[in-house]
Amino acid sequence: AQKVTQAQTEISVVEKEDVTLDCVYETRDTTYYLFWYKQPPSGELVFLIRRNSFDEQNEISGRYSWNFQKSTSSFNFTITASQVVDSAVYFCALSGANTGNQFYFGTGTSLTVIP
Amino acid sequence: KAGVTQTPRYLIKTRGQQVTLSCSPISGHRSVSWYQQTPGQGLQFLFEYFSETQRNKGNFPGRFSGRQFSNSRSEMNVSTLELGDSALYLCASSLGGRGNEQFFGPGTRLTVL
């Protein structure tokens, strides 16, 4: 079975603070793919990053960084020097090699950045 | 390159009616997936179409159906609407390979009265 857990339901930070969004996944597949999406108030899910299970290298993209650790089945997302425009709901998702293109989403973390 | 488009953006229906939602994927994408998003259940996978064939199906009743046309555009149909079908319906397109990222449309907000 595939499962994604985002234990943080809501987070509030003050602008310029760093914030980490947690994502823990469960899968029996040896090959799988992990994703992060951002859903602003407009409702459209915006793709942020994709990682496959064989690539544990961390990634940095501007103020965003991702830490993938297979040993703890986690794929955490850090925003450095947060901005008001980062306020959104963030979803972590999992796709297994044996489940087609079905994405299993976590319940999302609502991030509010206070100016 | 144009993104994923969905029509209509908003719909209001009454119980028992049926509804058809439309999705146009990104040019060149052959896979279209549909998801239902509700506050209580979150994002749930409905089905995926690839080259006009349903390739994968989630755990939804048969009232939910879909199809894909030769130009990769997809439609989703819900018959005999129930109050619980009120949700944001999101369409996503991808190239169709395993693990490809999916790009989402703005969604159709369906309200069932």
pLDDT, tens digit, 9 for 90 and up, residues B27-70: 999 999 999 999 989 999 999 999 999 999 999 999 999 999 99
Interface with chain B: mutation pick from A39, A45, A50, A53, highest number of B CBs within 10 Å: A45
Give the residue on B whose Cα is nearest the Cα of A36: B101
* CB-based contact B46:B76 (threshold 8 Å): yes
Give the residue on A whose Cα is nearest the Cα of B87: A43
Q: Which chain A residues are Cβ-neighbours of B106 within 8 angstroms? A: 42-44
* CB-based contact B62:B78 (threshold 8 Å): no
pLDDT, tens digit, 9 for 90 and up, residues A50-106: 999 998 888 888 999 999 999 999 999 999 999 999 999 999 999 988 777 899 999
Here the tokens at position A67 are: 């830490």
Dihedrals phi, psi of A105, to nearest 5 degrees: -100, 150
In order, the DSSP letters of A77-113 are: EEESS--GGG-EEEEEEEEETTSTT--EE---EEEEE
Amino acid at the residue A111: L
CB-based contact A100 B103, cutoff 8 Å: no
Residue A58: predicted pLDDT: 85
CB-based contact A95 B99, cutoff 8 Å: yes
Dihedrals phi, psi of B110, to nearest 5 degrees: -105, 125
Give the residue on A whose Cα is nearest the Cα of B4: A44
Q: Which chain B residues are Cβ-neighbours of A51 within 8 angstroms? A: none
Q: Which chain A residues are Cβ-neighbours of B104 within 8 angstroms? A: 37, 44-47
Dihedrals phi, psi of B27, to nearest 5 degrees: -55, 130
Number of Cβ atoms within 10 Å of the Cβ of A71:
6
Torsion of CA A40, B6, A105, B72, to 10 degrees: -140
Across the range B101-105, mean pLDDT stands at 95
d(CA B3, CA A47): 12
Residue B15: predicted pLDDT: 97
* CB-based contact B32:B91 (threshold 8 Å): yes
Please report, in angstroms and rounded to a whole number, the separation of the first and last CA atoms in chain B: 37
Indicate the average pLDDT of chain B. Answer: 95
Here the tokens at position A111 are: 């991030």
CB-based contact A108 B101, cutoff 8 Å: no
Is the pLDDT score of B1 beyond 70?
no
